[in-house]
Structure 1
Amino acid sequence: MVTVGLLYPGHSAEDDYPTLEARLDGAVKLPVVITSVGEDAHRVDALLDLGRAERLAEGAAELASSQPDAVMWACTSGSFVFGPEGARNQASGVAQALGVPASSTSLAFVDACNRLGIHRVAVAASYPEDVAQHFVRFLTGGGVEVVSMGSHGIITAAEVGTLAPERVVAMVKAADHPDAEAILVPDTAMHTLEIIDDLEAAVGKPVLTANQVTVWKGLELVGPVPYLPNLGTLFSGTTRGKSE
């Protein structure tokens, strides 16, 4: 059994992961360690503090007892605000601390798009506009073009964690664009792992969510990603002709 350790900031949708683990009946282990949070705010200065090396190192030390095969910094905004190089440095620090491969949610979004051969996307962001634009720049730096973006101005992760499934579906539908090959939903504070198929059905194209790509990338760091049911196109084994 593969164990993907998750460093998750604060409390909002961390229960998405044990719920998925239970649903998969032991196929994957997803131990979660909650990392410390200064201020719960989707604001650049707060996010730079959220993702600083000391917080990740403390979480990594706590995660060591779970003996993970790979580790994910399960936070989109707390990785993309550092830019591509900064995000890679975050992952490298965690990997060195634990001696296993590591990545982050932001890096996982770019890698997932590459795996599916997706070049143009729409973004359904819970964040305020200025924070969401950091994600757009991060994707652009990874060769992914953002053709449209909806930002919803939600300041705290705690509030995002309370969004009902129908609200998430509405956000994804509102963000869609005819030129978008997929919709990206970049916030691990949002509960999405039980509604991926519903989201894809609503727009008729792949939907990549933060918690989904986090699990996928953690598995991909270890070896071939297995087919997992009800987790959308990304876990179906389907590609559009482009590999890593």
Structure 2
Amino acid sequence: MTTVGLLYPGHAAEEDFPRMESLLNGLNLPIVRTDIGEDAHRVDVLQEMGARERLAAGVEELRLSGAESVVWACTSGSFVYGWEGAHEQIRALAAAAGLPASSTAFAFAHAAGALGVRRVAVAATYPPDVTELFVRFLRDAGLDVVAARSSSVVTAAELARWGREHVLQLAATGDHPEAEAVLLPDTALHTVAYLPELEATVGKPVLTGNQVTVWEGLRLAERRGAWSEELGRLFARQGAEALTE
């Protein structure tokens, strides 16, 4: 059994994680919900959401759960600090937890690398200014962002109500002919149930917030052979092999 501890902001799409547990044998995903304060995709609010004291408050519970790695299961609450600031956030989290740590923002960069893709399209739920910060983060990670779409959704609560049609439309309209993969960054968005259909719709790998979060935790825990044909190309056999690299 591999245990990946997740720090998740509030309540939105956390049902994605039990679904992944059921599809990946021998995986335990304990979740500690962090205090989000105000529910808004606004830079100052997101920076407060990802403050080190808020994240540190949940690590003791994850340690007691037997976690082998910890992932801050939030994309915007990491990349809003910029490339260096996001690294500092994760270093502080690792020190507080005494475990390997990362965030969903870094998970996107590592997952794209594992799939061998460099040119990506971003299909974001965020307002334009927040989307632009994610684009900068990805470029700092060495990715070429060929297109970025903003949906200007203000709250996670609204996103949690999005269903299959909304999610498929988001990916389709955010795609670009030159992109080798499409990224859907928000962990407040339910995506895990739709991954095969998402990839069939755009004809290329689709990376989503909750999907890459779990992959990142497995990578940190050095879990071998974690694969499922229901979780997109990242978790296909070749993607699982990248966990060992």
Say yes or no: TM over 0.5. yes
Q: Distance in 2 between matches of 1:119 and 1:126?
A: 22
Hey, what does 2:134 align to over in structure 1? 135
C-alpha RMSD over aligned residues: 1.5
Hey, what does 1:206 align to over in structure 2? 205
Whether contact under 8 Å (1:4, 1:29) holds in the other structure is: yes
Q: Which runs of 5+ in 2 are unaligned?
A: none
Q: Distance in 1 between matches of 2:50 and 2:147?
A: 27
Q: Distance in 2 between matches of 1:233 and 1:47?
A: 30
CA deviation map 1:79-121 (0-9, x unaligned): 0101122212222222112221110000010011111111101
Hey, what does 1:76 align to over in structure 2? 75
Q: Distance in 2 between matches of 1:222 and 1:61?
A: 18
Deviation at 1:226, TM superposition (A): 1.7
SS in 2 for 1:159: helix
Residue correspondences, number: 241
Q: Which runs of 5+ in 1 are unaligned?
A: none
Hey, what does 1:5 align to over in structure 2? 5
Q: Distance in 2 between matches of 1:27 and 1:194?
A: 19
Hey, what does 2:20 align to over in structure 1? 20
1:195–1:159 distance in 2 versus 1, CA, 3 Å:
same
Q: Distance in 1 between matches of 2:236 and 2:23?
A: 17
Runs of 4+ in 1 over 4 A off after TM superposition: none
Q: Distance in 2 between matches of 1:89 and 1:50?
A: 15
Hey, what does 1:193 align to over in structure 2? 192
Hey, what does 2:183 align to over in structure 1? 184
Deviation at 1:228, TM superposition (A): 2.3
What letter matches 1:15 in structure 2?
Answer: E
Hey, what does 2:214 align to over in structure 1? 215
What letter matches 1:102 in structure 2?
Answer: A
With normalisation by structure 2, the TM-score equals 0.94
Deviation at 1:59, TM superposition (A): 1.4
Deviation at 1:61, TM superposition (A): 2.3
1:33–1:159 distance in 2 versus 1, CA, 3 Å:
same
1:20–1:226 distance in 2 versus 1, CA, 3 Å:
closer
Q: Distance in 2 between matches of 1:98 and 1:79?
A: 17
